[in-house]
Chains A and B, each alone.
Chain A
């Protein structure tokens, strides 16, 4: 694997934002997806450009509020979104596909069950939520992220509605031959509309994904952001305070992964925001205590907040920054890869509950992080012992809940429909079809070989057929 990168230390990352620039290649692999017989696609900015060129509709360009409020996508728009999400999934996840078995959490197994469960069950719950607050209300929920930190209305959750629930869910069911390409079109529209409205409300620039904007997620309102910037403390690289800050970030990040069953729903990056002196700010939410999960009781015991937010200031010149991507799964990747030594400032905030008002979010001084760290480590070790004693089946269903519930949890909370979803729509029950698939996913390497191959190659995202009825659900089980 090689990287086409300009040698030397001078930062060149701003060139990535020039219209003619195609970005760097972060991987040598290529993507074909549904574009059989055409030039294979590449990752990054170049891949986004080609997708836009090949689209039959304007849904990948900057869309308007009227576009977003319309209830129905056209067939071309649905297929363009399907193709784009398939590439985007490959772009952000294909190298992760190499990670193999966990040794503790059967993630491939829980992921595929969750994908299929989401595709079957989310549409009516998201429709109910839209009915409760209206289409404008969904845009407003997305917009709430512009004046908050420590919120799960963020890139990875927003992306998951369409990329995971629609894209991978439909792909998994097609691979299992449980559905055909023209089944559940109405439900697919419901999922993609919900995602588009949330994303549009959050970004407000007409794009819906970070990859459409050269991997920028610059969503916060300037006056709100200034309140964060005012709290930032200078950090001297390799100093004890620098070490304390980076260690805190890493430990909280690790616990957020563990609390979400080794999944990135525990993290949320926004940015990069350029500061007046040329440095870059990344805001990173780390959700170290999600109380809907029973295993998070150890985090309650350690009196950990729902989320820490770490403000990270990077000197792009110090690391010779060539490209920075805040991707659609809320993770920041840079070239060169190691940005830790280039951190020159930071701040830490704690949000006690998911709905704690922003005025009550507390700032933790960097000199006080030493007292915070042991509580994180204590909860981490206790949770590890707890998880390591869970049987395989419990781990799979626990992970399934993390995907299936948490990926839409923030919108239901904001809309006030979470309790209704639990009580009237049996959100935490498992659909009988998905329950039965539990046994299928272990056959013929389905979870660990077939699905990853279909999902990461893009081959499994079959298009909706020409002339397919947009109202179509599934009418025949034959």
Chain B
């Protein structure tokens, strides 16, 4: 499998969730995906590393999460560990030089990641102490 993105690993786990990448841009997107009954088909991609935005998805049992900012010490990192939902944080594309910098990251950074991952079927590998990986399937 090709590793297309890497980031901070929220916690070490042998779980390797697979699913289609679903980008959630607004609270309504989160509500919609939970109400669709298809939550278990998706790996959720979000921009921020905070907890509250993903609340319904976390409490209803999301498979896996990729964030474009945040670290294991942030609220989402803590909650993903408590829920045992594999989570790759501050993910960056392995074939791109663009990196997230606190307070100084252009929208193009987030757009590039989203466009590269949305709709792709991926697997999360979070067995490393530090690095979480996103791999393309098929």
Contacts and interface: CB of A to CB of B under 8 A. Distances in A.
B12 A338 contact: yes
Contact of B72 (A249, A262, A337, A449): A337
B137 interface: no
A467 B97 CA distance: 50
Given A95-B72, A99-B71, A452 B103 contact: yes
A103 B48 contact: yes
B56 A380 contact: yes
Interface stretch (A122-130, A174-182, A251-259, A420-428): A251-259
Contacts of B58: 250, 254
Interface stretch (A73-81, A383-391, A406-414): A383-391
B25 to A, nearest CB: 7
A254 B79 contact: yes
A251 B59 contact: yes
Interface string B35-79: 000000000001111111101101110000000111111111011
Contacts of A262: 50-52, 75
Contacts of A72: none
Nearest to B83: A250
Nearest to B103: A449
A249 B69 CA distance: 25
Contact of A340 (B26, B47, B82, B90): B82
B75 to A, nearest CB: 6
A246 B81 CA distance: 10
A354 to B, nearest CB: 23
12 contacts: A1-B8, A92-B73, A99-B71, A103-B53, A104-B52, A249-B82, A253-B79, A262-B52, A337-B10, A340-B11, A384-B31, A448-B103
Interface of B: 8-13, 24-28, 30-31, 46-53, 55-56, 58-60, 68-76, 78-79, 81-84, 89-90, 100, 102-105, 129-130
Across the A-B interface, the 8 shortest Cβ-Cβ residue pairs: A100-B69, A99-B49, A388-B27, A449-B103, A250-B82, A99-B74, A95-B73, A99-B70
